[in-house]
Every structure is written in structure tokens, then in C-alpha cells.
Amino acid sequence: MLPALVANQIAAGEVVERPASVVKELVENAIDAGATRIAVELEGGGIELVRVTDDGSGIHAEDLLLAVAPHATSKIASAQDLDGVATLGFRGEALASIASVARVSIRSRTSAEAAASVLEVEGDACGAVRPAAGPVGTSLAVRNLFFNTPARRKFLRTPATEQERCLDVLRHVAMAHPAVGFAATVEGRRPLDLPAGQSPKERAVAILGRELAGQLIEVHADEFDDSRGVAIWGLAGLPAIARGTNKSQHVFVNGRAIRDRTIAHAIAEAYRGLIEPSRFPTVVLMLEMSPAGIDVNVHPAKAEVRFRDSSLVHSAVLRALRRALQGADLTPTYGDVRGGVVKGLPPELPGSGIVAQGGAAAGGPDDPAGATARFVGYFQRFAPGRPDATLADAIAGTVPAGTPGGATAGSAPPPRPSPALESPSLVPTAPASRVLQVHNSYLVTQDEQGVVIIDQHALHERVMFEYLLARVRSGGLESQRLLAPAPVPASAGQLRRLEEVAPLLARIGVSAAALGPATIGVHAFPTFLFDRGVDPVEFMRELLDKADAGLFSGGGSAGGAGGENADEDALRDVLDMMSCKAAVKAGDHLSDIELGELVKLRGDVERSSNCPHGRPTSIRLTIRELEKLFGRA
């Protein structure tokens, strides 16, 4: 049988990884004790000293020795209690594990005691409990972490790195408990000082940064029914403040900071198409649910949990975030993205590159031959017998899908879509009085807040994506048979993948089969892509390359969700590629009618602030920013 000290040191290897682990365990114990104010002191990054002082209920002198015994806890009494854990700590191994690898001093007093008591522990040496002066509450000092396990101590990072990790843990816990005051002292400095009694939003903004207050959208959802379901409150950051890492994502369940693949996937799905795939949104989510609906006893550090109904949690988080994002104007301002997406405005606007709606382009006809048929007419062809129908109508499902037919060059611009499309979730459209095309790539218009600069390819790409997604979900895309199969060179791996992606190809109107040991033949191709001049061979080659790399298998999605989620991820990836190839390109000249139609669709299509790849379609230069640029403010 292992000696008690060795057994505790093995347990400490799971519970105590670094000073931040000590901070987490001690602060959570203080919250469980009902503290309203918690002070943390660090020396040497927490390696030399972590002291946590609280004003909680304290530990009775008779219980101090029991507090450092392994698996001694008053928070649970039976296995059944694990099904309803309502405290942050519950296993009773934290203090015993910490004491086995550090020099620990506990000073505590309850309200029923006249004086405090002190206990000192060093490895397997435990001193006697002795009286001392002190207020109600507990002060617990952990010195010389891993002093008796030097092999583990040498794996710690620099004091500065360990210090920052300790502060990150404290910020996480503080965000989840805004009613509790927190203070951190580091080498005489006070990097964190949060008053008690803050609201959840005040606490979150204080930690994330007050400069982000105007870029955070509140998230609300209450799907709790009796003992089942979940209630959600949170803050969702605008796409413009997405980060390169997920450090700005904070998820809490019943006051416990967690990492969870299900929720991470729901967040990624909510922001799909609003940010680039390599970036992570700024999100704070606080979930409240019945303790019986969550298993918190699945990770040594209690950083991961298991939901009894993970699909319910996933759908609730996804709906709440999507609802919040749909209700906001996500168009970034010049101030948001300068130094990032936008470096500055074009230095000049040559007349040859400008088209004014309602007037002729300088140096060219008002409507170049075939331009309107190529753009506006192209929208109308999706609704046979309805030459006045627009793409927005098709997306809304107000017109039937069918075969090409309809518009001609010079057609009048289609009327505004039905009132059913008008929604507070959609970006307000710019006034139709004037739209300028700059360098045959960007559109310049205005709205109530200032000047809006639009990337014509990115916006049209979003429009195409939403149309394609709506059509596929309502029955699929029309395809056209080729007189002879188009041969596509393929590797053995791509030939094997062809069978896997066959259902996906069928949904988008592609029929393909092996023609030989190194060739795939395309027998049918979407009419939609034919009309846009997309080469079937090049399209299939790119699609097979991505399939061979596993990009359409669902494995690349956040959280690695499978099943229907993986199928939906794969479909969206292919539609991303199709919409990019079908959209008007930078350098394409658009007539005044086409300009008006495209800008109008910006207000009718969901998520028009970003293309399917996450790049912004529009940048707003606010009146305030204009005044600053011209020295008027």
C-alpha cells in the first residue's frame, strides 16, 4: 500500500498542475463558504506564495485537521449527491493535495468563535491547531509550491507567465460571480480590483475591457421548464472584435467556468460566415440549469462537464446567439477595422470608375449590352412566370423554383420584396438616390449613420450563398446533362472519396462517376454554375481536392460534431465555394440598375454584413469619423 504522502502527491498531479490550479481551488472554496469579498496575493508568479483571504463562514477549529485530510468534505455525503452538486468544490481532495506539495498555513474563524485558529502543514508533517487573532473568514497561504517534488517544479514557466495564468483564472471566476468582490495584489501592485454587487454585464465589461462595451450584444434565452432545460444570459461580440485565439470566450454553467466541445461548436455555428474560420468570436455565456442535468464529476480539475442532454444545450445556445446577432447591425465601422481590414480610403475616385445610379457612367453607356440580363435578369430567371421576382423573393420562398426564363436587357428594376422580408434583423438599406461604383470593385452609398463602402464581390457572394442554401433545403438545384462526360483527373484517394461525397453532390445538382482508374466523369452540372461560366472540370478538381483533404467530412468543424451537423457543415463548405465562383468579381462593371438591385439586396439578405468566408462586405465611415478626418471635431 502506498504511503499517504505519495498517494496525495499522485492526486496532486491531477489537481495541482501549477499555481493557477491552487488559485482556482482556494477561490472556489471561498465562494462555497459564502464569501462576499476575496483577496488574492501572489509572489513569484504564485510559485513562492499564493494567499487567498475571504470573509466567508470560516472553518471551526475542530475541523481544521479534517480540512486537510484527503476526501474529507461536508458538501456531499452519498453517491446520490453527485447527481445534484450545487457547489464548486465537492470532492474534498484540494487542500490535501496542495498540502502534500507545498507549505500551507490556514488561519480561520467562524462567527461563533471568539478567536481564530491556525494550522500549518508541510508535506506529511501536520502541526497542532493553535489559537491566533483574526477576523471571521479564512486566510490560506500556500508557499514554495512543489518544494518537495523538484521534477515538477522545473516544468513550471517563468514567474511572469505563471502570474498571468493565475490572474486569468481569477478573472474567469470573478466573471461568473459578479456579486462577489475580488482583488489581486502582485508584488505590491493591484492589477485587479472588482467591487462586490456588480451586475453580470458590468462585471463582464470590466474584465473584457470597457472599450468593448459598445461592441457587445446582450444574449437572453429562457428555455427552462420545471427541472429540464436551460436559461442563458450572455454577451456576444460583434464580428469586428473576433480574436486569433479563443481566450475571449468565457462559458459558465451554474457559476462554474468550463470548456465544452458542444457549446464551442454552437458558438462557431452561430458565427459561421460572420468571421473568418481562423478567428474566434468574443463571447460570454452564463448557463443556468438543474444540477441533475449536468455531471460535473468527469474531470480532475472540474474544467469539463457532461450534459445529460447535450443536443438541448447545443440548440439553445445556437438559437440564443443567432437571435442576438440577427437583431443587430453588424456592419463594422472604419474605426473598428482600421489597421486591420481597412487601411484607409482610396486616394482618388477617377471618373472612369464611377457610376451614379440614375445617370450614365463616364465614358460608357448607361446599360452596357447584356449587363442587366447578366445580373438582374439572372435573379429573375429563378421564378418562371414571375419576371418581377427578385432573388430575395426566392430566398424567402415566396416564388416557386423552376427553369430559366424571363428577363431581358434593359428590364426595369424589380420592385421591393414583400413586407414579410422586412425584419429588424436585416441591415437598413441605403437611400436609393445615389450609388457609386469605384474602380469597378466597390460601391459607395450612404445610410443614416454615414458613408457605406461595399465590396461588390463579397456582398454578391453572400447573396448567392443564401439563395443556394434556401434552394438546396427546399429540394435541390436544377442540373443540366452534358452531351459527353467531362473527364476530371483523380487520384486513388479521390476516387474512394467520390462515393462518400455522392449524396452531397446530388444535393447540389452534380452527377459524377468513375470513368477509369484515374479519371472521374462529370455527367451533370448545376445549371446555376453553367450560367455563370464556371468550368465543370475546374470546379470538380477543386471540390475533390478539398474532399480528399477531409474538409467535407465534418471533422474540421468546431467541436468535431458528427451526424447531421457534419452533413450541414459539408454542405455549407461546398455552397461557399459555389457562391464565390458565381458572384460578380472585382473589376466587373455594373449598370445603374444592377447597382440599385445589389444594394437593395443588402437590406433583404440575412448576414449581409459578411461574406460566407467571414470577410466584411461593407465598411461604414460614420459621420463622427468623417468630422474627425476633416478636423471638424
Q: Percent of the chain scored above 70 by pLDDT?
A: 77
Are 309 and 389 part of one and the same domain?
Answer: no
- Indicate the range of 2-16, 256-270, 550-564 predicted with least confidence: 550-564
Provide the grid cell at 251. 462559458
Q: What is the pLDDT of residues 121-172, one digit of tens each?
A: 998 789 999 999 999 999 999 999 999 999 899 999 999 999 999 999 999 9
* Confidence band for 12, pLDDT divided at 50, 70 and 90: low
**Are residues 587 and 562 part of one domain?**
no
**Which ranges of 454-563 would DSSP assign to H, the alpha helix?**
456-473, 492-507, 527-531, 536-548
The residue assigned the cell 462529370 is 522
Last residue of one domain, picked from the residues 151, 172, 194: 194
- Cell reading at 212: 468593448
User: Within this chain, do residues 8 and 88 fall inside the same structural domain, yes or no?
Assistant: yes
**pTM for this model (two decimals):** 0.74
Helices (H), 474-620: 492-507, 527-531, 536-548, 564-582, 592-602
Query: Does residue 356 sit in the same domain as residue 489?
Result: no
Computed from CA positions of residues 146, 148, 152, 153, in that sequence, does the dihedral angle turn out positive or negative? positive
CATH number at residue 293: 3.30.230.10
The residue from 178, 194, 210 where one domain ends is 194
Question: Any idea which of 172-176, 399-403, 535-539 has the lowest mean pLDDT?
Answer: 399-403
Calpha distance 121→103 (Å, rounded)? 6
Report, as an integer, the average pLDDT of 71-90.
67
Q: How confident is the model at residue 224 (pLDDT cuts 50, 70, 90)?
A: confident
The mean per-residue pLDDT over the stretch 607-631 comes to 91
Report pLDDT for 36: 97
Q: Per-residue confidence at 385, pLDDT binned at 50, 70, 90?
A: very low
Does one domain contain both 37 and 161?
Answer: yes
Domain total of the chain: 4
State residue 223's pLDDT score.
85
Q: Residue 570's pLDDT band (boundaries 50, 70, 90)?
A: confident
Name which residue leads in pLDDT, 541 or 358. Answer: 541
CATH number at 10 reads 3.30.565.10
pLDDT in tens, 244-278: 999 999 999 999 899 899 999 999 999 988 998 88
Q: What is the mean pLDDT of residues 438-460?
A: 93
545 or 486, higher pLDDT: 486
User: Residue 408 pLDDT more than 90?
Assistant: no
Q: Are 105 and 67 in contact (CB under 8 A)?
A: no
pLDDT value of position 23: 97
* 126 shares a domain with 9: yes
* 394 pLDDT tier (thresholds 50, 70, 90): very low
Containing domain of residue 566, as a range? 477-582
Are both 210 and 136 inside the same structural domain?
no
Query: Which of 22-26, 164-168, 197-201, 570-574 has the weakest average pLDDT?
Result: 570-574
Are the beta carbons of 289 and 253 closer than 8 angstroms? yes
Confidence of residue 342 (pLDDT cuts 50, 70, 90): very low
**Which of 563, 582, 601 delimits the end of a domain?**
582
Cβ within 8 Å of residue 40, ≥6 positions away: 23, 27, 50, 51, 52, 53, 166, 170, 182, 183, 184, 185
Strands (E), 278-365: 283-288, 294-295, 306-307
Q: Helices H, strands E: what count in the chain?
A: 19, 23
pLDDT of residue 345: 35
Regarding whether 481 and 406 lie in a shared domain, the answer is no
Could you tell me the three cell numbers for 5?
A: 504522502
Average pLDDT over residues 77-81: 60
Q: Give the pLDDT score at 10.
A: 54
Average pLDDT, the chain: 81
Residue 187: pLDDT band by 50, 70, 90 thresholds? confident
Amino acid 450: pLDDT? 92
pLDDT average, residue stretch 304-325:
92
Q: Do both 305 and 406 map to the same domain?
A: no
Q: Count CB atoms within 10 A of the CB of residue 499.
A: 10
The Cα–Cα gap between 208 and 329 comes to 21
CA distance 435 to 591: 11
